[in-house]
Amino acid sequence: MEETTKRELVLSINGERRSIVARQSETLLFVLRDGLGLTGAKPGCLNGDCGACTVLVDGTPIKSCMMLAIETVDKDITTIEGLDDAPIQHAFVRHFAFQCGYCTPGFIMNAHALIERRPNADEATIQEWLESNICRCTSYQEIEAAVKEVLEAKKAKPTDP
Amino acid sequence: MVPFDFAYYRPQSITEATALFAALERDGKRPLYYGGGTEIITLSRLNLVRTAAVIDIKAIPECRALDVGHDSLVLGAALSLAELEEANPFPLLTKAAREVADRTARNQITLGGNICGQIFYRETALPLFVAEADAIIAGPYGIRQCRFLDLFHQQLQLGRGEFVVQFKVDRAAATLPHFHRKRRKQGEVGYPLVTIVALKKDGTVRVALSGVCPFPFRSAEVEAHVNDRSRPVGERIQAAVDAFPRPILHDIEGSADYRLFVAAQLLEDMLGELGDRETV
Amino acid sequence: MAVGKSIIRKEAWDKVTGRAKYTNDFKEPGMLHASLVTSPYAHARILSLEARRALAAPGVHAVVVGEGLPLTGEDMRDRPPIAVDKVRYYGEVVAVVVADTLAQAEQAARLVRVVYEPLPAVGSPREALKKGAPLLHEHLDRYEKNKTTHPEPGTNVAHRTKIRKGNIEQGFAESDVIVETSVSFAPSDHIAMETRCATAEIWPDGTIHISASSQSPFMIKKLLHAYFGEETGKVIVHTPLVGGAYGGKAPVQLELLAYLASKAVGGRKVSVWNSREHDMVTSPVHIGLEATVKIGATKDGLFKAMEILFLFDGGAYSDKAIDVSRAAAVDCTGPYHVENVFCDSLCVYTNRPYATPFRSFGHCEQAFAIERAIDELAQELQLDPWEVRRKNAIHPGHTTPTQVRLTKSNVGNMPACLDRLRELMHWDEWQRVEVDAYTVRAKGIGAGWKTSTIDTDASSGVILTFNSDGSVNVISGVVEIGTGTKTVLAQIVAERLKMDVDQVHVKMDIDTQTTPEHWKTVASRGTFMAGRAALAAADDAIRQLKDIAACVLRASPDDLEVGFGRVFLRDDPAIFLPIKDIAYGYKFPNGNAIGGQVIGHGHYILRRLTPLDPKTGAGKPGPEWGVCAEGVEIEFNRRDYTYRIVKAYAVIDAGKVLNPKAALGQAMGAMSMGLSFASREGFLFDKEQRVLNPQLRTYRPIRFGEHPEYIVEFVETPQIDAPYGARGIGEHGLIAMPAALANALSLAAGVPLNKLPLVPELIWRTQKGDSYGSV
């Protein structure tokens, strides 16, 4: 039974085409982690509640535990491994915006998308986006500082390539 | 994590979808239509859903429609809540959608999924109730259009093999004065204690609630009390609360009496904001 | 040089790029996966367990059940690793299914048929202590236990700690007023974002390889020996980065299951990984409490006596809950001088998930009781609650409840913390204001202290190895659970060796075969114990470097100094050798060589700690008491009972701040956890004691945007025998937060709020005079 439900999927991940055989009912999170060795996205609840597994699908933050891998064929997936020295990564380091680091990839991916998609985000928008992720170590104040710093810097340099 | 296997189909048209359903049904696959998928995946891992096939409706153009026509809005059932919020064709729906789950989840949760799912809050149904929207439904016998409210008795009464393609909202209704408030047990993410949505048309308040009962509702009797401007506000609200359908939810989010306390306050807020507090 | 600077944590870039690896990130082809079959009842007899269908399912290799296994437990062996005959809590493991894939294991787990006969369930400590309450452990008298555990067979009392100091009758006789306060809260959870995970593999040579998301990798070795007779030298535990712990990963549970599962499949590698639901209820939880505090005081607010009853909800098995109940007793009065103390602290069995340490180890729990009582006393006497605390604040010369005399070194400066808090909060300006018809702003405060109640012979070791470029590797048994302790150790080593902290490398993961032992990464003792060991190791390395350099430079080692990458003559630094030239021994121009790789080692063992006297509690439980004063400012709506936490304050005596930003992060993170716990967390049980909210969907910790503004300051009163004077600071931010929030809300709402979590419905109900319990 199992064999018949597996399928070869060609996914576009971090700019590379990756081919993988997976169960059709397999979530993107498990395909990324177990199939492709991209363990940056973290399983925290497998229930869509915590945000630790957040990745970008066509630039939109998605909880990868809640999406089937097969749904992402023909879409561009970006995981934390695909970020290339993004300003938010530096800001997280500078502001001590993580401790154990487990929620960090998900938080960073969501914050990165926010910064890209909503460079003029106001307080309400920042909260609306970032309340999707749970961090248990920090007070969130550190994360807030990191995200706001990047947004401010972006506003100051709107033509930044 | 879905521990069992299923086959995934992604039809490109309505007829392909309904035909697939019929074929899979015949094969004993107990297929499910699949929108954002969040609830199917959640309930699968908890062993509360089991299927051998899912039919993803997100590639069907009609399900993805978002048309602002002269007289009506057409909202595809496979639009994500976040897409609806951003396009904001129906501000009251935007407000209701924005309080469902969290932003990242709403990038996936679809309008149709929120309304047709098993999780009984179905808060985006409320604006459609009060706007008296129509639902466009596809099934083995073709496509039908009907008043959403007429087809909704605790949940949307769909026949086997049917799915919602679109909702149609009167454009004028979408711009009427309205009210939305969601109160949770605590915090700003999570299921409601009470969600209340209202719209005022021709001096009459239409109101719908979720979280009070194990199903969302709009009740003629409740509205009659709310609009009975011959009585003082306190009495109108009390009568409306007394007329709520039963049972009143009594669970981990809140007790029944507390929910009624919250609902009464929100009704009062609603009348205040819609300028309908005065007795005539 | 390095100490006192906000050095970026060493593993920072691994964590922001996704390269940081946690236990469940290590996958191997051929590794098997386990799924836990757990009990849907909180108390039931297991009539039968039928695993045939599960065993026949695709991919399944074994179904492990509980028969024939030894009992386990750190203080008292009362817990079968897999239930047999009887289950005692909702979520207890009854079988472990091992299969090729996790999906197959989960599918098969659903095929295991267990027939239960439900038994009456005990739902709270007070219920458990009632005459005729169902007994959880009929054979409490037969359990193996250590000398400091005092169960009461025939009851549900797993342990009782008695504190008797002074003369309680006399204390109350001298009091003008006596206030009695009762508080309670149900068990809750740690919610580390990484759920617990363990893998085990048994090699043909008999070595047992465990990988575990654990605060106690070294304890796993000891316990596999104690429970199963395995040679400790053959147990090798690997612990990579840990994704949050907060005490919840101190106990040993899944590791035992992984070991048993591997054994059942011929030693193959098996991974046991908790689902969030299992992590919340099957694995141990944050303890619940019912407490009564009676304070006697003079009319000007001087404490004369405290009579305290702590009934800790230890859950179904005692494990570390005994220790938590003891720790609360040790510091039972809070950071106040009380001459006459009578405290009974009980660890009580109930049919609830079993409890284990939670950040602050019994102290935020204890403080909630004491600090609420103090506010009620202040109200009764119409005194300023800050004044009452200040008047009674503990300081050197006083004795603790266990009769340890306090010195300038072994206790932080409580009065200074309170004084600074008062200024920061503008306490004197207002404590309650009505902003409009419905909106009230209010402030609440609390104070806390804590010593670490840990094994009297707990020790820590550090090894320093040098690289040929003169840089150093720090190898310590402290687990990096997020506290940044390993970075602080690098700072300590860099400071001592007078070198650039970038030249100090840290081995992040633990391999118990090559890493020197650090007892457990708990109790805010990492910096103190491992820091002392690191200093000793640095001194050892310095001695070795000097010995080699002395030969080469033809000078006495006494005349040499180490620093700035060199060994040099003290009175003429121009005469020197670069460390890189001697770190692997020195090679003379003619090819002769002396020395060898410099390997410094050091260790530290806690000194002069004693167990508590069973009759009076007298004894020295820990090395020092850190103190803190904390406050909360809230905005409360009197119409709808909702509130917002506007600001949260903490003043903590850090001894010496070694890494300012990291210290702030520890304090603020702990405060956040305390506010989250106090305002919204807690398990909800039905009448049969089944947990109704074992998911993050329904058990909702604080989220971004719900956080207040945090204002934190440190006082620095050095602990003179700690590295650079630093005190533990990982937990103090939490201790007084629940109490401060409850005090602020009680003031705002005008009713005593003595239960947690402080959800609006609780306040509404309390004001109505109803009781508020589980649904």
d(CA C360, CA C448): 10
In a shared domain, residues C615 and C501: no
Two structure tokens written together for C648: 């949260």
- Statement to judge: residues C323 and C408 lie in one domain: yes
Tell whether A76 and A135 lie within a shared domain: no
Whether residue A65 lies inside any domain: the answer is: yes
The tokens describing C622, both together, are 């820990």
- Predicted confidence at residue C772, as pLDDT, reads 61
pTM attached to this predicted model: 0.97
Measure the CA–CA gap between A86 and C322, rounded to whole angstroms.
48
The separation between CA C188 and the C-alpha centre of its own chain, rounded to angstroms, equals 14
C580-603 tens-digit pLDDT: 999 999 999 999 999 999 999 999
In terms of Cα–Cα distance, which of C236, C218, C213 is closest to C520?
A: C218
Nearest neighbour of C110 by CB, restricted to B1, B47, B250: B47
Residue A73, chain C, CB below 8 Å: the answer is no
Whether A75 and A113 share a structural domain: no
| Chain B neighbors of A2, CB-CB under 8 A | 5
Query: Do residues C464 and C558 share a domain?
Result: yes
In this predicted structure, the answer to whether residue A160 has a pLDDT above a threshold of 80 is no
C716 assigned to some structural domain:
yes
Domain boundary among C584, C605, C626: C605
d(CA C612, CA C344): 13
Q: Which residues of B touch C680 (CB under 8 A)?
A: 185-187
| Whole-angstrom Cα Rg for chain C | 27
- Average pLDDT over every residue of B238-264: 98
**CA nearest to C680, candidates C742, C759, C774:** C759
Place of tokens 């597996």: A6
Residue C289: strand, helix, or coil: strand
pLDDT of residue C1: 78
Q: Residue B153: which region, alpha, beta or left (left: phi > 0; alpha: psi -120 to 50)?
A: beta
Cα B146 to chain centroid distance, Å, stands at 16
CB-based contact (8 Å) between A87 and chain B? no
Residue A35: inside a domain: yes
Beta carbons within 8 Å of C130's beta carbon, 6+ residues apart: none
Cβ C703–A131 below 8 Å, yes or no? Answer: yes
Asked, for residue A59, whether it belongs to a domain, the answer is yes
Res C594: pLDDT: 95
Q: Are strands C177-185 and C459-466 parallel, antiparallel or unpaired?
A: unpaired
Q: Is the pLDDT of residue A159 over 70?
A: no
Nearest chain C residue (CA) to A83: C17
**Chain A residues with CB inside 8 Å of B53's CB?**
none
Q: How far is C82 from chain B (nearest CA, A)?
A: 22
**Is residue B206 pLDDT above 70, yes or no?**
yes
**Rounded CA separation C585/C569 (Å):** 19
Task: Note whether A47 contacts C696, CB cutoff 8 Å.
Answer: yes
**pLDDT of A39 higher than 70:** yes
- Residues contacting C349, CB < 8 A, separation 6+: C88, C122, C128, C136, C137, C156, C157, C158, C314, C315, C316, C317, C318
Q: Give the gap in angstroms from C-alpha A44 to the nearest C-alpha of chain C.
A: 6
Name B149's Cβ contacts closer than 8 Å, sequence gap at least 6. B128, B129, B132, B218
Closest Cβ–Cβ partner in A79, A108, A139 for C710 = A139
* Among A47, A80, A113, residue at a domain's last position: A80
Q: What is the pLDDT of residues B100-118, one digit of tens each?
A: 999 999 999 999 999 999 9
Confidence of residue A1 (pLDDT cuts 50, 70, 90): very low
Residue in B87, B59, B52, B60 with CA at minimum distance from that of residue B73: B87
Instruction: Count the Cβ atoms, other than its own, within 10 Å of residue C591.
Output: 6
Query: Which structure tokens are listed for C659?
Result: 């890494």
Q: What is the mean pLDDT of chain C?
A: 97
Q: Is the pLDDT of residue B202 over 70?
A: yes
A-C interface: how many C-beta pairs under 8 angstroms? 161
User: CB distance C276–A44 less than 8 Å?
Assistant: yes
Tell me the H-state helices in B152-219. Answer: 171-174
The angle that helices A104-117 and A87-94 make with each other, rounded to 10 degrees, is 130
The domain total for chain A is: 2
In this structure, the answer to whether residues C645 and C718 fall within a common structural domain is yes
What's the whole-number mean pLDDT along residues B124-153? 97
Cβ neighbours of B118 in C, within 8 Å: none
Q: How far is C85 from chain B (nearest CA, A)?
A: 26
Interchain CB distance below 8 Å, A132 and B105: yes
Q: Are residues C705 and C629 in the same domain?
A: yes
Within a domain: residue A111? Answer: yes
The average pLDDT across C516-524 equals 89
Place of tokens 């209704």: B173
Top residue of A99, A122, A144, A150 to mutate, by most chain C CBs within 10 Å, is: A99
Please check whether residues C447 and C465 belong to one and the same domain.
no
Q: How far apart are CA B8 and CA A70, in angstroms?
A: 8
CATH number for C353: 3.30.365.10
Nearest one of C755, C747, C748, C751 to C768, comparing CA atoms = C751
**C665 closest CB neighbour out of A34, A93, A96:** A96
Q: What percent of chain A has pLDDT over 90?
A: 93
Count of residues making up chain A = 161
Interchain contact A70–B (C-beta under 8 A): yes
The torsion angle over the Cα atoms of residues C224, C229, C230 and C232, rounded to 10 degrees, is: 70
User: What confidence score (pLDDT) does residue C311 get?
Assistant: 98
Tell me which of A80, A109, A143 is where a domain ends: A80
Those of residues 16-55 in A touching chain B at CB distance below 8 A are 23-27, 29-30, 46-48, 51, 54
pLDDT digits (tens, 9 = 90+) for C735-753: 999 999 999 999 999 999 9
A137 and C244 within 8 Å at the Cβ level: the answer is: yes
Q: What is the 3-state secondary structure (H, E, C) of C52-109?
A: HHHHHCCCEEEEEECCCCCCECCCECCECCCCCCEECCCCCEEEEEEECCHHHHHHHH
CA atoms within 13 A on the CB side of C51: 18
d(CA C344, CA C326): 10
* The domain boundary residue, chosen from C577, C605, C633: C605
Q: Please report residues of C whose CB lies closer than 8 A to that of B41.
A: none
Q: How far apart are CA C175 and CA C170, in angstroms?
A: 9
The proportion of chain C whose per-residue pLDDT surpasses 90, expressed as a percent, equals 97
Assign 3-state DSSP to chain A and report helix, strand, coil percentages, each to 5: 40, 20, 40
pLDDT at B277: 73
Mean pLDDT calculated for residue range C743-765? 98
* Cα C569 → chain centroid: 46
**Can you give the pLDDT at residue A120?**
96
Same domain, A73 and A130: no
Cβ contact B5–A30 (<8 Å):
no
Which two three-digit tokens encode residue C299?
Answer: 């009319």
Residue ranges of chain B whose CB lies within 8 Å of a chain C CB = 1-4, 47, 183, 185-191, 250-255, 258, 261-262, 265
**C72 and C200 belong to one structural domain:** yes
Residue from B32, B104, B106 to probe the interface with A (highest A Cβ count within 10 Å): B104
Q: Which domain holds residue A97?
A: 85-154
Q: Closest residue of A to C277, CA-based?
A: A45
Q: Could you tell me the CATH number of the domain that includes residue C75?
A: 3.90.1170.50
Query: Is C184 inside a domain boundary?
Result: no
Number of domains in chain C: 3
Q: B31-46, pLDDT tens digit by residue?
A: 999 999 999 999 999 9
Task: Pull the structure tokens for residue C33.
Answer: 């996966």
Q: Are C260 and C324 part of one and the same domain?
A: no
Instruction: For residue C215, give its domain range.
Output: 31-119+193-244+249-281
**% of chain A residues with pLDDT over 70:** 95
Task: Say which of A23, A61, A131 has its CB closest to residue B189.
Answer: A131
Q: Give the tens place of pLDDT for each residue, C226-277.
A: 999 999 999 999 999 999 999 999 999 999 999 999 999 999 999 999 999 9
Mean pLDDT (whole number) for B227-250: 97
Closest partner residue to B190 (CB to CB) among C106, C107, C700 is C700
Which pLDDT does position C775 carry in this prediction? 43
- Pick B7-56's CATH classification: 3.30.2320, 3.30.43, 1.10.3470, 3.30.160: 3.30.43
What's the rounded Cα separation, in Å, for the pair C562 and C579? 8
**Interface partners of B (3+ CB pairs, < 8 Å)?**
A, C
Assign B244 to helix, strand or coil.
coil
Angle at C171 between CA C168 and CA C173, to 5 degrees: 110
Q: Does the residue A161 lie in any domain?
A: no
Spatial separation of the C-alpha atoms in residues B5 and C531, rounded to whole Å:
52
Q: Is the CB of residue C761 less than 8 Å from the CB of residue B255?
A: yes
User: How many Cβ atoms sit within 10 Å of the Cβ of residue C774?
Assistant: 15
Q: Among partner residues A24, A47, A128, which is closest to B6 by beta-carbon distance? A: A24
CB of C418 less than 8 A from some CB of A: no
Instruction: Choose the closest CB to C684 out of B3, B252, B261.
Output: B252
Amino acid at C208: I
Q: Are C564 and C669 contained in the same domain? A: no
Query: Is residue C524 predicted with pLDDT exceeding 90?
Result: no
The rounded distance, in Å, linking the Cα atoms of C384 and A85 is 53
CA–CA distances in Å: residue A159 to residues A119, A153, B34, B130: 12, 11, 41, 45
Chain C residues within 8 A of B2 when measuring between CB atoms: 103
- Kindly report, residue by residue over B57-76, the tens digit of the pLDDT: 999 999 999 999 999 999 99
Interface test with A, best of C6, C8, C16 (most A CBs within 10 A): C16
Distance CA C593, CA C600 (A): 20
Is residue C279 over pLDDT 50? yes
Q: What confidence score (pLDDT) does residue A161 get?
A: 45
Last-in-domain residue among C547, C578, C605:
C605
Answer CATH for B178-273 from 1.20.120.1750, 3.30.390.50, 3.40.50.300, 3.60.150.10: 3.30.390.50
Chain A hits for B38, CB-CB cut-off 8 Å, are 48, 63, 66
Q: Would A127 be classed as within a structural domain?
A: yes
Res A3 pLDDT > 50: no
For residue C443, which amino acid is it? K
| Mean pLDDT score across all residues of chain B | 96
Res. A5 pLDDT band, cuts 50 70 90: confident
Q: Where are the domains of chain B?
A: 7-56, 65-174, 178-273
Tell whether C19 is within 8 A of chain A (Cβ).
yes
CB C217 within 8 A of CB C512: yes
CA atoms within 13 A on the CB side of A72: 36
Counted across chains A and B, CB pairs separated by less than 8 A come out at: 83
Is the CB of A134 less than 8 angstroms away from the CB of C703? yes
- Residue in B6, B82, B188 nearest the CB of A131: B188
User: Are the beta carbons of A92 and C58 separated by less than 8 Å?
Assistant: no
Q: Is residue C172 part of a domain?
A: no
- Token pair listed for B41: 């995946």
The answer on C332 and C350 residing in a single domain is: yes
User: Pairing state of beta strands B53-56 and B217-218?
Assistant: unpaired
A161 Cβ contact list (under 8 Å, min separation 6)? none
Query: pLDDT > 70: what percent of chain C?
Result: 99
Contact C76, C151 (CB under 8 A): yes
- Tell me, yes or no, whether C599 and C554 share the same domain: yes
Asked whether residue C718 falls in the same domain as residue C756, the answer is yes
Q: Which ipTM did the prediction report?
A: 0.97
Select from A80, A101, A123 the last residue of a domain.
A80
Which domain CATH number covers A115? Answer: 1.10.150.120
Instruction: CATH number of the domain at A37, please.
Output: 3.10.20.30
Residue A4 has pLDDT above 70, yes or no: no
pLDDT band at C774 (very low <50, low <70, confident <90, very high): very low
User: Is A118 within a domain?
Assistant: yes
* Contact residues, chain B to chain A, C-beta under 8 Å: 1-2, 4-8, 36-38, 41-42, 44-45, 56, 58, 82, 98, 101-105, 107-108, 188-189
CATH class of B65-174: alpha beta
Residue A160 belongs to some domain of the structure: no
Return the pLDDT at C616.
Answer: 97
